[in-house]
Homo-oligomer: A and B are copies of this chain.
Amino acid sequence: MVHFPSVKKIHDLPTPSLVLDLERFESNLQKMSAFARTHRIALRPHTKTHKCVEIARRQVQEGAIGVCTATIAEAEVMIRGGLRGLLITGEMVGEPKISRLMRLVSNAPETMVVVDDVINAGDLQRAAESFGIKLAVMIDLDIGQNRTGVRPGEAAVQLAETIARSKNLELKGICAYAGHAAHVVGFEERRTASRRALTQALATRDLLVKQGHRVDILSGASTGTYNIDADIEGMTEMQSGSYVFMDVEYRKIGGAGGAMYEDFSPALCVLSTVIHRSGKKAIVDAGIKALATDRGFGPEVLGMSDVLYEFAGDEHGRLIVDNDRIRLGDRLRLIIPHCDPTVNLYDRFFCVRGEVVEAEWPIMERSGGPTYF
C-alpha cells in the first residue's frame, strides 16, 4: 500500500526533492505576462521546462494563448489536462510519431506542428489526408542553432510551396527559435546575437509573404531574449519557458540592468540532506540523478554563495566548506543549475509558501512512458 504522508512542512519532505517557492513562482508568472501585455506580444510558453499540467494551466490563467511542447508525449499530456492552443516545436518524423500526432490533432484540431523538410511535409500530408483532417503547420527555420530547421531563403520558400500544394496542410507561420542566443553572456552581446539571428527570419517571412503565402505567426524568444525579441517588428509570440523557475545558468548571463540576470527570481530548488560531514567536506544526497549535469557546473547553495558544490556520483554531491556552518543532518536548498533537465529527474513539485507545503503537482512521465490518444 502506498502512503502519501500528510506532509505539511518543508522539514518533513523526503530528500532529494524538488521544492517550488510559490511566491517567487507566481511573481515570475505575473511579471512575464505583464511584460507581454505591455509589449503587445502573445505568450505561448514552452512546457518542456516544467512538464506539468498545473503550471501550464496557471500560465494560461495569466494570459498565455496556449503552450508549446517539444514532444508528442508532452502534447498528449497537455491536451488530456485540458490545455489547448498547442505548438509542437519538435519535428514529427516516422510512422509512430505521425500516427500519434494524427490521433491528437483529431482531438485538438488547432494544434500546430513544425516541419522543416519536404519529405516530412509529404508524409504529414498523406497521414492528414487519410485521417481526414487539416493539419496546421509552422515552418521551422534554422536561424543559427544548427540543429533542426530549414535554411532561410530559397529552401524555406520551396518548403512553403510544398505545403501550399498539400491540401491537408495549412501554413500558419514561422518558428524561429534562436537557442544559440539564449545564453550569450552580457545583455548587449545577447541582443546582437538574437537580432542577427532574427533578421534572417524576417527576411524569409517577407519573401514568403511576397510570394503569396500567409505568415500570421512569427514565434521565437527564450527567457534570455524575451526583452530583446519582443521589440522586433513582426514578432507575434514568445516561447520563453524557463522564466517560471530560473536557474544558475540564466542568472549568469547578465541582465539589461546588471551583471546578474534578476528579471525573474530563482523559484525552484532541490532540497537535500547533509549525510556526511568531515573536515572541509560536506556530502549531500543530491548528485547526478538529482541535478542536471549538462552545463558542467553544479548548483548554488541557497544563502551560501561561497560554498562550492562538486558532483560526486549518482546520489552524492560534495560541498567544500571552510567553516562549521554546515552540520550533519542539515537540510540545504540547492538552486538548480539548469531547470529543464533537472525537473525531468523528479516525479513532482512540492509547492511551498514559506515553510508550509501547500500542494504537490505531478510531473509527467519520463521517456518511454505510456501513449495517450
Q: Which residues of A contact B (CB under 8 A)?
A: 1-5, 12-18, 48, 70-71, 73, 90-91, 93-94, 96-97, 100, 116-117, 119-120, 146-149, 151, 179, 273-278, 281, 283, 285, 288-290, 292-294, 311-316, 318, 328-329, 331, 340-341, 344-348, 350, 363, 365-373
Contact = CB atoms under 8 A, between A and B. Distances in A.
Contacts of A346: 366-368
Nearest to A312: B147
A345 B344 CA distance: 8
Nearest to A123: B329
User: What is the copy number of this chain in the assembly?
Assistant: 2
23 contacts: A1-B372, A2-B372, A3-B372, A14-B73, A14-B97, A14-B100, A14-B371, A16-B368, A18-B368, A91-B275, A94-B273, A117-B276, A117-B277, A117-B328, A179-B313, A289-B340, A289-B341, A294-B311, A346-B366, A347-B367, A347-B368, A348-B368, A363-B366
A116 B148 contact: no
Contacts of A179: 313
B4 A91 contact: no
A286 to B, nearest CB: 8
A148 B345 CA distance: 23
Contacts of A147: 276, 283, 312-313, 316, 318
Contacts of A14: 73, 96-97, 100, 368, 371
Contacts of A367: 16-18, 289-290, 345-347
Given A3-B372, A283-B147, A90 B315 contact: yes
A318 B180 CA distance: 14
B294 A288 contact: yes
A329 B117 CA distance: 11
Nearest to A281: B146
A205 to B, nearest CB: 21
B368 A48 contact: no
Given A70-B315, A117-B276, A147-B313, A370 B94 contact: no
Contact of A276 (B148, B285, B344, B345): B148
A344 B289 contact: yes
Smallest CB-CB A-B distances: 7 pairs: A17-B368, A293-B294, A93-B275, A148-B276, A91-B275, A346-B368, A347-B369
